[in-house]
Amino acid sequence: MVEGIDGSGKSTQVHLLDKWLRSLGLRVFFTEWNSSDVVKEITSKGKKKALLTPTTFSLLHATDFADRYERNISPLLEAGYCVLADRYVYTAFVRDVVRGCSPAWVRKVYSFAAIPDITFYFRVPPEIAMERILEGRPKLKYYEAGMDLNLSNDEYESYRIFQGRIVDQYESMVGRDRFVVIDGTLGIEEQQERMRRQVLKVIQRPVASLPAPVETRRAGGT
Protein backbone atom coordinates (compact mmCIF):
# COMPACT_ATOMS: atom_id res chain seq x y z
CA MET A 1 0.00 0.00 0.00
CA VAL A 2 1.21 3.53 -0.67
CA GLU A 3 0.21 6.56 1.39
CA GLY A 4 1.12 10.23 1.50
CA ILE A 5 -0.24 13.61 0.46
CA ASP A 6 -1.17 14.37 -3.16
CA GLY A 7 1.94 15.13 -5.14
CA SER A 8 4.18 13.06 -2.87
CA GLY A 9 4.97 10.66 -5.74
CA LYS A 10 2.92 7.61 -4.63
CA SER A 11 1.29 6.86 -7.98
CA THR A 12 4.57 7.11 -9.86
CA GLN A 13 6.18 4.59 -7.50
CA VAL A 14 3.29 2.15 -7.22
CA HIS A 15 3.04 1.94 -11.02
CA LEU A 16 6.72 1.10 -11.28
CA LEU A 17 6.31 -1.52 -8.56
CA ASP A 18 3.30 -2.99 -10.34
CA LYS A 19 5.26 -3.39 -13.61
CA TRP A 20 8.22 -4.92 -11.80
CA LEU A 21 6.13 -7.45 -9.86
CA ARG A 22 4.35 -8.51 -13.07
CA SER A 23 7.71 -8.89 -14.79
CA LEU A 24 8.67 -11.32 -12.00
CA GLY A 25 5.64 -13.40 -12.97
CA LEU A 26 3.53 -12.58 -9.93
CA ARG A 27 -0.23 -12.12 -10.11
CA VAL A 28 -0.88 -8.50 -9.25
CA PHE A 29 -4.06 -6.54 -8.61
CA PHE A 30 -3.93 -2.76 -8.47
CA THR A 31 -6.63 -0.68 -6.80
CA GLU A 32 -7.09 3.05 -6.15
CA TRP A 33 -8.86 5.11 -3.51
CA ASN A 34 -11.33 6.50 -6.00
CA SER A 35 -14.84 7.23 -4.94
CA SER A 36 -17.57 5.51 -6.90
CA ASP A 37 -19.95 7.68 -8.95
CA VAL A 38 -22.67 7.24 -6.32
CA VAL A 39 -20.47 8.63 -3.55
CA LYS A 40 -19.19 11.44 -5.78
CA GLU A 41 -22.76 12.49 -6.54
CA ILE A 42 -23.82 12.49 -2.90
CA THR A 43 -20.72 14.33 -1.67
CA SER A 44 -20.98 17.01 -4.33
CA LYS A 45 -24.68 17.56 -3.50
CA GLY A 46 -23.85 17.58 0.21
CA LYS A 47 -21.03 20.04 -0.38
CA LYS A 48 -23.29 22.55 -2.08
CA LYS A 49 -25.92 22.39 0.63
CA ALA A 50 -23.42 21.87 3.49
CA LEU A 51 -25.45 18.81 4.46
CA LEU A 52 -22.71 16.38 5.36
CA THR A 53 -21.26 16.20 8.83
CA PRO A 54 -17.75 14.71 9.28
CA THR A 55 -19.42 11.47 10.42
CA THR A 56 -21.69 11.10 7.39
CA PHE A 57 -18.83 12.09 5.07
CA SER A 58 -16.64 9.42 6.66
CA LEU A 59 -19.33 6.73 6.52
CA LEU A 60 -19.96 7.40 2.82
CA HIS A 61 -16.31 6.79 2.02
CA ALA A 62 -16.23 3.73 4.29
CA THR A 63 -19.23 2.26 2.48
CA ASP A 64 -17.49 2.81 -0.82
CA PHE A 65 -14.29 1.19 0.44
CA ALA A 66 -16.18 -1.76 1.97
CA ASP A 67 -17.73 -2.44 -1.41
CA ARG A 68 -14.33 -2.48 -3.16
CA TYR A 69 -12.82 -4.48 -0.33
CA GLU A 70 -15.39 -7.25 -0.43
CA ARG A 71 -15.69 -7.39 -4.22
CA ASN A 72 -12.00 -7.18 -5.14
CA ILE A 73 -9.38 -6.82 -2.46
CA SER A 74 -10.40 -9.60 -0.09
CA PRO A 75 -11.14 -12.35 -2.68
CA LEU A 76 -7.92 -11.59 -4.59
CA LEU A 77 -5.81 -11.66 -1.43
CA GLU A 78 -7.31 -15.05 -0.65
CA ALA A 79 -6.53 -16.21 -4.18
CA GLY A 80 -2.87 -15.36 -3.58
CA TYR A 81 -2.63 -12.12 -5.54
CA CYS A 82 -0.23 -9.33 -4.67
CA VAL A 83 -2.63 -6.45 -4.00
CA LEU A 84 -1.24 -2.96 -4.56
CA ALA A 85 -3.32 -0.05 -3.35
CA ASP A 86 -2.82 3.62 -4.14
CA ARG A 87 -4.14 4.82 -0.76
CA TYR A 88 -5.72 2.50 1.77
CA VAL A 89 -7.53 2.86 5.11
CA TYR A 90 -4.84 5.20 6.45
CA THR A 91 -6.11 7.83 4.01
CA ALA A 92 -9.48 7.70 5.75
CA PHE A 93 -7.78 7.80 9.16
CA VAL A 94 -5.94 11.03 8.36
CA ARG A 95 -8.66 12.82 6.36
CA ASP A 96 -11.57 12.00 8.62
CA VAL A 97 -9.66 12.91 11.76
CA VAL A 98 -8.55 16.24 10.25
CA ARG A 99 -12.24 16.87 9.42
CA GLY A 100 -13.22 16.24 13.05
CA CYS A 101 -13.94 12.53 13.57
CA SER A 102 -12.54 10.67 16.55
CA PRO A 103 -9.46 8.59 15.63
CA ALA A 104 -10.68 5.54 17.58
CA TRP A 105 -14.09 5.68 15.92
CA VAL A 106 -12.64 5.85 12.37
CA ARG A 107 -10.34 2.90 13.07
CA LYS A 108 -13.28 0.89 14.35
CA VAL A 109 -15.30 1.62 11.21
CA TYR A 110 -12.49 0.21 9.05
CA SER A 111 -11.55 -2.67 11.34
CA PHE A 112 -12.73 -5.23 8.77
CA ALA A 113 -9.79 -4.38 6.47
CA ALA A 114 -6.65 -6.54 6.53
CA ILE A 115 -3.40 -4.98 7.75
CA PRO A 116 -1.02 -4.68 4.77
CA ASP A 117 2.32 -6.50 4.60
CA ILE A 118 3.94 -3.17 3.82
CA THR A 119 2.65 0.39 3.90
CA PHE A 120 4.99 2.83 2.21
CA TYR A 121 4.60 6.39 3.45
CA PHE A 122 5.97 9.10 1.17
CA ARG A 123 7.29 11.93 3.27
CA VAL A 124 7.42 15.32 1.51
CA PRO A 125 6.92 18.89 2.70
CA PRO A 126 3.53 20.23 1.46
CA GLU A 127 5.29 23.06 -0.44
CA ILE A 128 7.16 20.57 -2.64
CA ALA A 129 3.99 18.53 -3.23
CA MET A 130 2.08 21.68 -4.20
CA GLU A 131 4.81 22.75 -6.65
CA ARG A 132 4.63 19.34 -8.31
CA ILE A 133 0.83 19.42 -8.57
CA LEU A 134 0.84 22.93 -10.06
CA GLU A 135 3.40 21.89 -12.67
CA GLY A 136 0.88 19.37 -13.97
CA ARG A 137 -2.31 21.47 -13.85
CA PRO A 138 -3.12 25.14 -13.24
CA LYS A 139 -5.30 24.91 -10.13
CA LEU A 140 -5.64 23.07 -6.84
CA LYS A 141 -8.80 21.01 -6.34
CA TYR A 142 -11.46 22.09 -3.84
CA TYR A 143 -11.03 19.18 -1.40
CA GLU A 144 -7.28 18.91 -1.97
CA ALA A 145 -6.96 22.50 -0.71
CA GLY A 146 -9.35 21.73 2.18
CA MET A 147 -11.59 24.62 1.08
CA ASP A 148 -14.59 22.94 2.76
CA LEU A 149 -12.98 23.54 6.16
CA ASN A 150 -12.96 27.38 5.86
CA LEU A 151 -9.34 27.60 6.93
CA SER A 152 -8.59 30.51 4.63
CA ASN A 153 -10.17 32.22 1.63
CA ASP A 154 -6.86 31.91 -0.20
CA GLU A 155 -6.67 28.41 -1.65
CA TYR A 156 -2.87 28.20 -1.45
CA GLU A 157 -2.90 29.20 2.18
CA SER A 158 -5.77 26.78 2.86
CA TYR A 159 -3.82 24.01 1.09
CA ARG A 160 -0.76 24.65 3.27
CA ILE A 161 -2.73 24.54 6.51
CA PHE A 162 -4.87 21.55 5.50
CA GLN A 163 -2.07 19.42 4.05
CA GLY A 164 0.13 20.35 7.02
CA ARG A 165 -2.51 18.83 9.32
CA ILE A 166 -2.72 15.74 7.11
CA VAL A 167 1.06 15.36 7.32
CA ASP A 168 0.89 15.68 11.13
CA GLN A 169 -1.64 12.83 11.22
CA TYR A 170 0.46 10.62 8.96
CA GLU A 171 3.55 11.33 11.06
CA SER A 172 1.69 10.34 14.22
CA MET A 173 0.92 6.97 12.62
CA VAL A 174 4.44 6.11 11.38
CA GLY A 175 5.42 4.11 14.48
CA ARG A 176 2.02 2.76 15.40
CA ASP A 177 1.21 1.44 11.92
CA ARG A 178 4.78 0.43 11.07
CA PHE A 179 5.00 2.55 7.95
CA VAL A 180 8.07 2.17 5.79
CA VAL A 181 9.03 5.80 5.31
CA ILE A 182 10.27 6.79 1.86
CA ASP A 183 11.90 10.17 1.44
CA GLY A 184 9.68 11.54 -1.34
CA THR A 185 12.20 14.25 -2.21
CA LEU A 186 14.67 11.66 -3.52
CA GLY A 187 14.87 10.79 -7.21
CA ILE A 188 12.34 8.40 -8.72
CA GLU A 189 14.89 5.59 -9.28
CA GLU A 190 16.36 5.80 -5.80
CA GLN A 191 12.92 5.56 -4.17
CA GLN A 192 11.96 2.61 -6.36
CA GLU A 193 15.15 0.74 -5.45
CA ARG A 194 14.44 1.19 -1.75
CA MET A 195 10.88 -0.05 -2.19
CA ARG A 196 11.90 -3.12 -4.16
CA ARG A 197 14.35 -4.10 -1.44
CA GLN A 198 11.50 -4.01 1.10
CA VAL A 199 9.09 -5.89 -1.15
CA LEU A 200 11.65 -8.63 -1.83
CA LYS A 201 11.79 -9.32 1.91
CA VAL A 202 8.05 -10.07 1.83
CA ILE A 203 7.85 -12.09 -1.39
CA GLN A 204 10.92 -14.14 -0.48
CA ARG A 205 9.57 -14.90 2.98
CA PRO A 206 9.86 -18.66 3.64
CA VAL A 207 6.55 -20.51 3.42
CA ALA A 208 7.71 -23.13 5.94
CA SER A 209 5.06 -21.98 8.40
CA LEU A 210 2.31 -23.16 6.05
CA PRO A 211 0.94 -26.68 6.54
CA ALA A 212 2.44 -29.23 4.17
CA PRO A 213 0.24 -30.28 1.23
CA VAL A 214 -2.15 -33.12 2.07
CA GLU A 215 -0.37 -35.62 -0.24
CA THR A 216 2.96 -35.11 1.53
CA ARG A 217 1.44 -35.44 4.96
CA ARG A 218 -0.25 -38.68 4.05
CA ALA A 219 2.88 -40.07 2.46
CA GLY A 220 4.98 -39.32 5.52
CA GLY A 221 2.38 -40.41 8.06
CA THR A 222 0.24 -43.56 8.30
Of 91 and 101, nearer to ligand ADP (C-beta) is: 91
Stretch that binds ligand ADP, among 5-13, 56-64, 76-84, 174-182 (CB under 6 A): 5-13
SS (H, E, C) the chain: CEECCCCCCHHHHHHHHHHHHHHCCCCEEEEECCCCHHHHHHHHHHHHHCCCCHHHHHHHHHHHHHHHHHHHHHHHHHCCCEEEEECCHHHHHHHHHHCCCCHHHHHHHCCCCCCCCCCEEEECCHHHHHHHHHHHCCCCCCCCCCHHHCCCCCHHHHHHHHHHHHHHHHHHHCCCCCCEEEECCCCHHHHHHHHHHHHHHHHCCCCCCCCCCHHHHHHHCC
**194 belongs to the binding site for ligand ADP (CB under 6 A):** no
How far is 114 from 124, CA to CA, in rounded Å?
A: 26
135 C-beta neighbours (distance < 10 Å), count: 8
Of 107 and 123, nearer to ligand ADP (C-beta) is: 123
Under a CB-based contact definition with an 8 Å cutoff, are residues 92 and 61 in contact?
yes
Stretch that binds ligand ADP, among 8-16, 76-84, 141-149, 150-158 (CB under 6 A): 8-16
**196 belongs to the binding site for ligand ADP (CB under 6 A):** no
The binder of ligand ADP chosen from 3, 6, 96, 155 (CB under 6 A): 6
Of 133 and 161, nearer to ligand ADP (C-beta) is: 133
The binder of ligand ADP chosen from 3, 7, 33, 170 (CB under 6 A): 7
Stretch that binds ligand ADP, among 9-17, 64-72, 167-175, 214-222 (CB under 6 A): 9-17
Taking CB under 6 A as the criterion, which residues in 161-190 touch ligand ADP? 187-188
**4 belongs to the binding site for ligand ADP (CB under 6 A):** yes
Q: How far is the CB of 4 from ligand ADP (least distance, A)?
A: 6
**18 belongs to the binding site for ligand ADP (CB under 6 A):** no
The binder of ligand ADP chosen from 12, 35, 72, 152 (CB under 6 A): 12
**9 belongs to the binding site for ligand ADP (CB under 6 A):** yes
Under a CB-based contact definition with an 8 Å cutoff, are residues 91 and 167 in contact?
no
Q: Which residues bind ligand ADP (CB under 6 A)?
A: 4, 6-12, 132, 136, 187-188, 191
